Structures are given as C-alpha cells and as structure tokens.
C-alpha cells in the first residue's frame, strides 16, 4: 500500500471534485476504484484526512501487488503496470486537489478578496518554485500581484525564518515615500522602481493591503 501523504503535501482536497471524478463517499473517506492493464489489476485510491493511500490489487489472486510500491524494483512488466497505476494517482491529484501553500489568515483573506472582487485565481507558473504564484489581469495578461514564501533574509532582514509575502505594483514617482524596510520593502524579484513587497504577518493591516491591491490592479491596466 502506498502512503499518499507526501504527494498531497500543500494540497487541499476538493470533495466535490472527488465525487465528480467518480469517488464514492464511505464514512469519513472517499474511495475510487478502477481496473487497469486489461482489467487484470484494480487500483484503489482511498482519500481520508488521517492517511490517504493507494493500493493495486492483482485480480487473479485478489492480493495486493506490492511490487509497484517498492523502490528499485523494475522490469518491463512491472514498469508498464507501475506507469499506468501512477498516472491514475497523478491524474486524481491534478484534477481533484488544489494548491494549499499559503497558511496565514492574512494571505487567505487576500486570496478571497481577489477572487470575489476580480474573479482571479492564483496561477502557479513554476514547477521549480511551487511556493510562488501570481495574479494576472485578464484584460491584458499583466501581473498585478504575487504571493510567495521566502526567507526573511531575502528582504534584507537577518533571519532564516520563512515568511509569506505579497508583491504589488506601486506608483514609480511615489515609491520612495512608502518604502521603509519595516512594513514596506522594495519589490522582491520584481522591478524595484515600481513594485513593493509586504510581509503577511499583520505588520500592515489587511484593509490597507486591499487598497494597495486595487491600486496595483489599476496600474496594471495602464499601457
């Protein structure tokens, strides 16, 4: 049996999507079964909060086929079955799970605000940097915000602690007035002439950040 806890790290389970995919709710779990490899094996995916698992059953003897879950085991037959089995797991994760990177209350309030006001979802563009995401203006595809998880030393703070931040556009002519390297920082990984960064640790009130998001959105509309 394969423990899927690692695969679901920083993922949020969407129960409605599970049901639409074909999962059956049983007690506190969602179970999905499908036959593979010419109906000779059955994959069973069990999604529960305690321990999400996947198992492959050899239908000829009704026993678990554990070779697909053992690292280092190879061979043409095993590899073909393993590939089909793992593709099912990957497809379920892609279609039924949502990113759950940002944990702070402030970050989640911001995500909700942007969704409700602009109907924009975070886009996770980089596999190499799964903790980075952006908002894009649908009218012209310009970015107007980004959420990231970085070490504080990236902002010039003497600390290795990870912190959630937001990058926003800001008026170039006034940016020197707002940057104080305490509440407002030069734009991280952005053009520091017209982007600012804010730590999402309540050092800046959420209401103020909402105002700055609106400002950034409006700036993204300019040519």
C-alpha to C-alpha distances, 212 to 68, 71, 87, 205, nearest whole angstrom: 51, 49, 42, 11
Model pLDDT, residue 38: 93
**CB under 8 Å to 94, separation ≥6 — which residues?**
none
Model pLDDT, residue 88: 97
SS3 track for 1-39: CEECCCCCCCEEECHHHHHHHCCEEECCEEEEEEEECCC
Model pLDDT, residue 15: 95
Model pLDDT, residue 53: 96
What is the rounded distance in angstroms from the CA atom of residue 112 to the CA atom of residue 5? Answer: 26
Model pLDDT, residue 49: 78
Regions of the chain short of the pLDDT cut 70: none
DSSP characters over 141-176: --EEEEEEEEEGGGGT-S---EEEEEEEE--GGGHH
pLDDT, tens digit (0-9, with 9 covering 90-100), for 51-72: 899 999 999 999 999 999 888 8
């Amino acid at each position: 049996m394969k423990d899927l806890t690692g695969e679901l790290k920083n993922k949020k389970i969407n129960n409605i999507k599970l049901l639409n995919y074909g999962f059956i709710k049983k007690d506190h779990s969602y179970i999905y079964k499908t036959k593979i490899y010419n109906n000779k094996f059955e994959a069973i995916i069990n999604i529960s909060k305690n321990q999400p698992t996947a198992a492959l059953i050899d239908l000829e003897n009704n026993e678990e086929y554990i070779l697909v879950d053992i690292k280092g085991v190879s061979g043409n037959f095993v590899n073909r079955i393993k590939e089909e089995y793992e593709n099912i797991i990957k497809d379920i994760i892609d279609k039924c799970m949502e990113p759950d990177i940002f944990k702070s209350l402030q970050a989640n309030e911001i995500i909700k605000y942007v969704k409700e006001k602009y109907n924009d979802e975070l886009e996770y563009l980089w596999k190499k940097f799964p903790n980075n995401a952006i908002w894009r203006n649908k009218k012209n595809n310009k970015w107007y915000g980004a959420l990231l998880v970085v070490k504080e030393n990236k902002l010039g703070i003497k600390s290795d602690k990870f912190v959630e931040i937001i990058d926003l556009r800001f008026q170039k002519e006034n940016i020197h007035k707002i940057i104080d390297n305490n509440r407002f920082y030069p734009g991280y990984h952005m053009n520091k002439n017209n982007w600012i960064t804010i730590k999402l640790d309540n050092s800046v009130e959420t209401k103020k950040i909402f105002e700055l998001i609106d400002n950034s959105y409006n700036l993204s509309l300019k040519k």
